[in-house]
A = this chain, B = another copy of it.
Amino acid sequence: MPSTARHLYEELAEDLTGLIAKGTLRAGDRLPSVRVLSGQRSVSISTVLQAYLLLESRGFVETRPQSGHYVRSTRLALVPEPRPPRLSSTATKVSVSDLIARVYGASRDPNMVLLGGGYMSPALLPTERLNRGLAAVARGAGGAGIAYDPPPGLPALRRQIARRAAECGVALRADEIVTTVGTMEALHLCLRAVARAGDTIVVESPAYYGVLQLIESLEMRALEIPSNAGTGIDLGLLDAALRQPRVKACLVVTNFSNPSGALMPDEAKRELVRRLAKRDIPLIEDDIYGDLHHDGARPRPARAFDRHGLVMLCGSFSKTLAPGYRVGYVAPGRYRDAVERLKFAQTVATPTLAQMAIADFLENGGYERHLRRLRRAVADQVARVSEAIAEHFPAGTRISRPRGGFLLWVEMPPGRSALELHDRALARGVSVAPGPIFSAKQRFTSCIRVSCGYPWSEAIERGIRTLGEIATGL
């Protein structure tokens, strides 16, 4: 295992969490002031501030203006994180589609409490500004607005994507980028560019069901490597996996993975890239959640450490701006030509006006300001939902501690069936994503993914209480 250097503030936050878990600090207690703690621990003011922010984003602490930092919940601090799955070293023919169809087919009811799908609420997105922007672009674009915008896609948008990539440590030229119909088309293009039916794709476990469904539909095999909630895909197990026959790619959500929330530290990313490069195996990197860090700086994509054109970086604006605009992108490294050709064969072009509107928003719309607000909102929702789960779910439940994104991974005590929970919850008007859809082997039978994409409300509280009741009675 590579060293996964921890920051001082992370160590400090962990110490304080320990004090909360042991009951030394209790709900309602005021934490030492930043200045005092800084003196006590001989760390900088900024380290303490970062530690408090982290505790806040994890739901342990709340900030009261003009007053200080207070312990919010002792219950959550006592809840451990889910465990990674055990290793299984065989590649699996995937067949999650039936299960996904069963889960998602039932959840189109508008009265449903939606804790299942990974959707961000339009209430948190710059809906009005984006739609007004699209309207303005549409009125002004003339023929260019209705014409095809052939691959690689709109230059203005690709320039903005390159500029933002540079800000998180990825040197990209606009002409290295191909725009796509969302991240899913980007991942699809990457898989098709580097692998074919019968080939094996190394994925983390748990993995996003959409990716498993994609691998299934391409008749490829998924080789699942346990993902550690803290550091992501287990690098200690990677080499053995890569030695298996017909491994043609590794597909990982490096930042705030879906559903585990795992964030790979820079060192782990560097190591992952290095080990894959040694065997000339491409990394398909899904960075769709990277802009949604709850604290600290925007984490770097693994692409930042790529020296061989082997990291195919995929992303989109579906979680931070407008899912329905269907605008994503891929920087396919050395596979650029293949990806561009496949893009033309698959969907010819990415929607023109939507690309223009998003390029314009990135340039002039205050995307950074919006992201700051969105991150705070999302961190708050994750904290509240975590706390409610800690309160209502049976003892022995484990909850992930994501430091970005808006997805929680919840492991119920052994023997409780997530599918059973899903069915009963649906009958009571609550949708949730059951663990087995996140595994080609349909593991995670007692896990669920809970989405925190909607602002906290009574309906959500009721939904979680309902889930907790059902889970307790299973």
Chain A residues with CB under 8 Å of chain B are 97, 100-101, 104, 108, 119, 121-123, 125, 127-128, 130-132, 134-136, 138-139, 141-150, 181-182, 184-185, 188, 192, 196-197, 210, 213-214, 216-217, 219, 318, 321-326, 337, 341-342, 344-354
Assess whether A348 is in contact with B210, with CB atoms less than 8 Å apart: yes
List 18 extra interface pairs beyond A148-B323, A182-B349, A217-B346, CB under 8 A: A100-B341, A119-B147, A121-B143, A134-B138, A135-B136, A135-B138, A146-B322, A181-B351, A182-B348, A197-B197, A210-B344, A214-B346, A217-B341, A323-B349, A324-B349, A325-B351, A326-B348, A351-B351
- Which residue of chain B is the closest to A135 with respect to CB atoms? B135
A147 to B118, CA, bound (A): 12
Contact at A127–B145, with CB atoms within 8 Å?
Answer: yes
Q: Are B135 and A184 in contact (CB under 8 A)?
A: no
**Inter-chain contacts of A219 with B (CB < 8 A):** 196-197
Complex: A146 Cα to B119 Cα, angstroms: 11
* Separation of A354 and B350 alpha carbons in the complex (Å): 12
Supposing A139-B135, A192-B217, A353-B134 touch, asked if A147 and B323 sit within 8 A by C-beta, the answer is yes
CB contacts (< 8 Å) of A108 on chain B: these are 150
Please state if A130 and B146 are interface contacts (CB–CB under 8 Å). Answer: yes
Are A131 and B127 in contact, CB atoms less than 8 angstroms apart? Answer: no
Q: Given A138-B138, A184-B347, A214-B345, do A145 and B324 touch, yes or no (CB 8 Å)?
A: yes
Q: What is the count of identical protomers in the complex? A: 2
CA distance A278 to B375 in the complex (A): 59
Residue in B127, B144, B347, B353 whose CB lies within 8 Å of A143: B127
Could you say which residues of chain B place their CB within 8 Å of the CB of A142?
122, 127-128, 131
Name A340's closest neighbour in chain B (CB-CB). B101
Chain B residues whose C-beta falls within 8 Å of the C-beta of A181 in the assembled complex: 181, 326, 347, 351
Smallest distance from the beta carbon of A371 to chain B beta carbons, Å?
16
CB pair B119 A148 closer than 8 Å: yes
A interface, over-half SS: helix
Smallest CB gap from A215: residue in B: B345
User: A131 contacts B145, CB within 8 Å?
Assistant: yes
Residue from A119, A146, A321, A354 with most neighbouring chain B CB atoms (10 Å):
A146
In the complex, are the beta carbons of B146 and A131 less than 8 A apart? yes
Chain B residue numbers with a CB within 8 Å of A97 are: 341, 345
- Kindly list the 4 A-B residue pairs having the minimum CB-CB distance in the complex, ordered from nearest: A122-B143, A324-B352, A135-B135, A146-B322
Residues of B close to A143: CB separation below 8 A = 121-123, 125, 127
For A354, what are the chain B residues with a Cβ–Cβ distance below 8 Å?
A: 351, 353-354
Task: List chain B residues, Cβ under 8 A from A345.
Answer: 97, 184, 188, 210, 213-214, 216-217
Q: Please tell me which one of the listed residues B150, B192, B347, B352 contacts residue A347 in the complex, with CB atoms under 8 A apart.
A: B347
A186 to B101, CA, bound (A): 20
A192: nearest residue on chain B (CB-CB)? B217
For this complex, 17 residue pairs linking A to B, each with C-beta atoms less than 8 Å apart, are: A100-B341, A104-B344, A122-B146, A122-B147, A125-B143, A128-B142, A131-B141, A131-B145, A148-B318, A181-B347, A184-B346, A210-B344, A210-B348, A217-B342, A325-B353, A326-B350, A326-B351
Q: Residue on B with the closest CB to A142?
A: B127
Tell me how far the C-beta of A33 lies from the nearest C-beta in chain B, rounded to whole angstroms: 42
A138: chain B residues within 8 A (beta carbon): 131-132, 134-135, 138
A151 CB to nearest chain B CB (Å): 10
CB–CB B185/A346 < 8 A? yes
Q: Which residues of B contact A325 (CB under 8 A)?
A: 146, 351-353
Residue of B nearest to A197 (CB): B197
Measured in the bound complex, the distance between the Cα atoms of B98 and A337 in whole Å is: 10
Give, as a whole number of angstroms, the nearest-CB distance from A361 to chain B. Answer: 11
CB distance from A117 to the nearest CB of B (A): 8
Of all chain B residues, the one with the shortest Cβ separation from A354 is B351
A336 to B129, CA, bound (A): 37
Residues of chain B with a CB closer than 8 A to A135's CB: 134-136, 138-139
Closest to A124 in B: B143
Which residues on the B side are within 8 Å of A141 (C-beta)? 131
Whole-angstrom CA separation of A141 from B325 in the bound complex:
13
Report B-chain residues with C-beta under 8 Å of the C-beta of A341.
97, 100-101, 213, 217
